[in-house]
Each structure stands twice: as C-alpha cells, then as structure tokens.
Structure 1
C-alpha cells in the first residue's frame, strides 16, 4: 500500500532535511518506491504497515541526523479521508490546516481549546481541523496554545500540502 510519511519539525527552526537525503534515508531503511513531496518533510513510500514504515523512517533519520525526528505514517486512503473531512470554508483570507496527532488523545485535548477571533477549530479522528486568518499562523490564540500544549506531540500541515501529497501518490 502507499503510505504517506509526514516528518515533524523539519526545514523549520534550523533542522534541515533535504529531499534527496530524505529519499536516501527512506530507501536505506528498506522502504519501497520512495517519493518526496515538496521540501517540507513529506514522503510517499510503499509498505505493508504504516506505523512500521514510520518507525523505520524515524530510526533511519536518527542514525543520519543524530536526533529524533518524529514521523507519522498514514495509508494514503486514511489521509484522503482526513482531507475530505475538512469542515471549514476555504477562502483567500484564511489558511486551512490539519493538526495530526503523534500521540493518542492529543487531538481531543486541542479540540477543547478556545479559538480566537476569526479562527475555527473542529475535532476529527486523530486530527484537529484549524482555519486561521492569514498572517496569524504563529500568533493566533490557538497557535500559541498549540505550541504550549502539544508542540512535540503533533505535526501540522497546510491542507493544500496534504492535497499535493495525495496527488503525488
């Protein structure tokens, strides 16, 4: 099956993982048909088990970079369901995000937080759907709460990025 691998916290904050290096790490980890998508820590692989593929990727990345880089592995069919369930209107004034949990229960905690002016949050299965006014991705009330509450326990993607990952599958 095709599996989307979403790396947490790369190519931001000083942690750089080039696409060619990511591809090499994943191939060396024994994952098949590796394809990277954009330069933001996204890859597609062929594997029989998504969590096992994510674990193999984490081990390979730690061996290469000397630090843990968390990876979420999702069958592309599951990722498609997550994208299709995005509940907020999309417009030019807002940025659509999906916050994906790396640890069970985090999404439920986050969905209970209060949204700020112009923001919208909604719970999904293992995700929080978030729409925020453009330019407030790091400064909105939900963004600040997200950073404080779940920084290393989630990975966040723009909905448009997830659509590109799926299109590359």
Structure 2
C-alpha cells in the first residue's frame, strides 16, 4: 500500500458542500484504506493499492463526480512530496514573524508551479516566492491571505488550472499523520 495526500480544490463547489465525514466514507467505499481527514477544508491522507499519484487523483475525481454529480477537482501528492513541503518553510517570514503565514499553492504539475512563479514575479511590489516541487511558496500577513495580490493572482489562475492553497502549518500537520 502507498500513502498519498489528497487535497480538494474546495469543499463548497457550486452550491455543493463536501463534508469531511462523507468524503472519508466515499473514499473508503471507493477502495482506499486508512482514510483520515484533517480540518474541514478538504485535506485527506489515505492508502491505496495504486502506486501513482495521477491514478489516485483520477479515481478520487471519478468517485466525487459520480457521488456529487459535478466535477470536484482534487490534487494528489505522494508521501515524499508532503514530507518535503512540511520541512521548515523555505521563505523567511518578515518581522514581526508572528504576524505572517507561509502558504503553499499546490499545483497539478511542476510546470504550473513554474508558471505561477513567473506570474508572481511580475507583480509590483515583487513578492517573495519560491517553487518547491509542484508548489509555489509565498507569504501573506495574517488576515490578508484572501486580499493579498498574490492570493488574487492564484484565485484568478484557479479558473485556468487545478491549484489549491494551503497554510504551511496544514502541510506540517499532514506530515505528522503520514509519518
């Protein structure tokens, strides 16, 4: 069995609310084992007989669409990817550090992460960003994670590609479950 992390792009999709207990049951009925959810925002750790993240992603997407009657995109990351993303944050938080959060915009491909990086570097003022595997790392002041220019950029890009953003602390918690 192989361990994966599954991230729903959203838990409120077109008027459909995906509850974590329902999601866990659906994935377990769909053949996944050791299904565990974290928080109420579409974060799942599971085990699968499948060995490739893309295969797990296709199966999760099919299960969700069949159950909810609409496309609910997921992103699937390997155990190794999650452990890498959960390492100490690659960007230094500005002072006062307690007033900032590190974020990771998780992408379907490394190319998507590279594209987001280039778009972010074109913003003025230029934000601190870094690519880590299939994720774009960035920083926002607490309370501004949805109004920050980089957040607005990723929201606009989410209409064109499968991406989702998580707080770095969420990845650290998921890594603790995976270990």
Common fold by TM > 0.5: yes
1:6 CA drift (Å): 0.9
Asked if 2 retains the 8 angstrom alpha-carbon contact of 1:37 and 1:168, the reply is: no
How far apart, in 1, do the equivalents of 2:3 and 2:132 lie?
22
Asked if 1 retains the 8 angstrom alpha-carbon contact of 2:86 and 2:175, the reply is: no
What does residue range 85-124 of structure 1 map to in structure 2 within 5 Å? Answer: 86-90=89-93, 91-112=97-118, 113-114=120-121, 115=123, 119-124=127-132
Instruction: Structure 1: give runs of 5+ residues left out of the alignment.
Output: none
1:45 CA drift (Å): 0.9
Q: Which residue of 2 aligns with 1:134?
A: 142
How far apart, in 2, do the equivalents of 1:85 and 1:65 lie?
37
How far apart, in 2, do the equivalents of 1:118 and 1:132 lie?
13
How far apart, in 2, do the equivalents of 1:15 and 1:107 lie?
28
Q: Which residue of 2 aligns with 1:27?
A: 28
Deviations 1:2-56 (A, max 9, x none): 1111111224775421111001110121111111111110111111322222211
* Matched position secondary structure for 1:62: helix
Q: Which residue of 1 aligns with 2:60?
A: 57
Asked if 1 retains the 8 angstrom alpha-carbon contact of 2:16 and 2:68, the reply is: no
Scaled by the length of structure 2, the TM-score of the pair is 0.84
- Coordinate RMSD, CA, aligned: 2.1
